[in-house]
Amino acid sequence: MRCLASVLLYALVIAALLFAVDSVRNSMFDNAFPSMSTVLAHSSALARDDFEELSDTALARCHIVIFDADGGRLYASSRRIARQISPDELSVINDYDQRTFYEVFSGRADGDDGYTILSCTFDAGYMKRIKSSCTLDSDLNILGGSLFQGRRALKKQEFDFIKGIYNTSMSVERYDYRTASGEARTLVLIAPLVSDAAYARVVAEANRVWIFAAPLFLAATAGAGWCMAHQIRRATRPLDRAIGAWRTQRVSLVDREGIPTELVPVYDSFVELMRQVERAHDERQRLITDISHDLKTPLTVIRGYARAFLDDRVPADRRRAYFSAISDKAVDAAEMIDDLFAYAKMEHPEYRPQMKREILGELIRRIGEEADAQVEQSACSLDISLPDHEMAAFVDAQLIGHMLLNLIANACAHNPAGTQILVSLRQQGAYAELSVADDGAGIPPDIAERAFEPFVTENTARTPGGGCGLGLAIARRCAELNGATIAIAERPHAPWRTEILVRIPLAEGPASGLVGSR
């Protein structure tokens, strides 16, 4: 707890120093370059038509004029400014909220000298939209466009206002607001322009604040560093002993009660990490053994038959059978490698599915058509039952296809000829439930508990033709990457012996509809 207290104290001291420095610097910038935000700090007074607060020293370098909805002048910080800004000119002053603002470009579309003025606004998506435009010649005569219709020319002051300039050293903008009683007001602010020289001067003055604050930061940091170093050295000694014990004996020789409170989570995480490393090491060894065994079987057959051909020991009437066996085993090996590659790719932490909005019924119908050839080759039958209404979901179509084809292939591979397979889709609230059921041999209970783990197969001896046990593991990963869940039904509906259920979140709300079959 001492470490935590030291950290909190140091954080509070640094936060207080940063807040103080930031406040001083902001005050210097606000006073040097007052803006509309400086005026709006007095918004409560403006809502009451209380203009006395506008004499704030932070606004001493500004000029403010306020008009009512009828163009009447309610307040002016300077008589000279009041005479120079009329209500008729408010429409050409840029709006602070940028509901309407102007952009001025030198030159015209025909290439002659002049100007192009755009009246713009922002839509709800903060995209700039051009409302209207016009072109001027170099004497500010209006040549065309829908902006300023009915006028033949602009005054020099109006043109400057459109550009946001009051004079060579001052900017101008307006702010429309309503009082507490709902009356409309328009505030015109004339503030100093931010020149490079003036800004550089203020920045230099503001940076000098850090010169005075730096010793305080250094002192606080040095004190906190010394205190933390001392406490950490004392606190980590038991943890160092525990790490040494794990490195040499893989046991903890340190009593957990002796670990400082702050480091207890670190110690527990370290112990759990070491256990995970051991489990991962054991799993890797098992995977290597299973992969080696599964690939060795077809490769041994290929090697043996190839050697027989090289030694010219294959009878003429058996050559085609040998070639067929070599081809079949090569296909088995290639399929194992493809499954291993797909599983490894999807397990990679940087793998990202390509999610798109898909109509599930159409997607499953296409996948079922792809599976027809494999089902027929296995002497099984496949039916697909889909709802009449559309169900949409954001999924990776390729992964859904890989998952469903693996589930169908698994049903064909582990059941006798004549097995009937049903792929159905139905809606369960906000989910689509995809079912792959068969009336085959069923899955033994001890296998069902681990069916979605890699290299799990009922062929415990891993004899040829039993598969490498990655089909359901790949299907599980495909489902997870699509935000779906997959499970084996505990009690399949008759006449089905095995039913695998996949729940996919829908992209839209529940709908009702009848069910039809292919």
The per-residue pLDDT string of the chain (518 residues; one tens digit each, 9 = 90 and over) reads 566 677 788 888 888 888 888 888 877 776 777 889 889 999 999 999 999 989 888 888 889 999 999 999 999 998 898 988 999 999 999 999 877 889 999 988 788 899 999 999 988 778 889 999 999 999 999 999 999 988 999 999 999 999 999 998 899 999 999 999 999 999 999 998 877 877 788 888 888 888 888 888 888 888 878 887 777 777 677 667 767 776 666 555 555 666 667 667 777 777 777 777 777 667 667 666 766 766 777 788 788 888 888 888 888 888 888 888 888 778 777 767 776 777 777 777 788 899 999 999 999 999 999 999 889 988 999 999 999 999 999 999 999 998 999 899 889 988 999 999 999 999 999 999 999 999 998 888 878 777 887 766 655 433 444 445 677 888 888 999 999 999 999 889 889 999 999 999 999 754 433 334 44
Span(s) in the chain for CATH 1.10.287.130? 263-347
What does pTM read for this prediction?
Answer: 0.43
Fold of 263-347: Helix Hairpins (1.10.287)
- Specify the DSSP class assigned to residue 257: G
Query: Which residues pair with residue 167 across a beta bridge?
Result: 170
pLDDT value at position 513? Answer: 39
User: How high is the pLDDT of residue 1?
Assistant: 56
* C-alpha 484: how far from chain center: 19
Alpha-carbon Rg for the chain in angstroms: 39
Using alpha carbons, select from 169, 168, 160 the residue that is nearest to residue 117. Answer: 160
Q: What is the pLDDT of residue 181?
A: 95
The strand order across the sheet containing 170-178 reads 73-76, 63-68, 184-192, 170-178, 165-167
Q: What is the pLDDT of residue 250?
A: 59
CA–CA distances in Å: residue 375 to residues 397, 401, 437, 478? 21, 15, 14, 21
Measured between alpha carbons, how far is 471 from 290 in angstroms, rounded to an integer? Answer: 14
Contact predicate 479/486, CB 8 Å = yes
Residue type, 156: K
What per-residue confidence (pLDDT) applies to 446?
Answer: 78
Tell me the fold of 356-517: Heat Shock Protein 90 (3.30.565)
The residues of the chain that CATH labels 3.30.565.10 are: 356-517
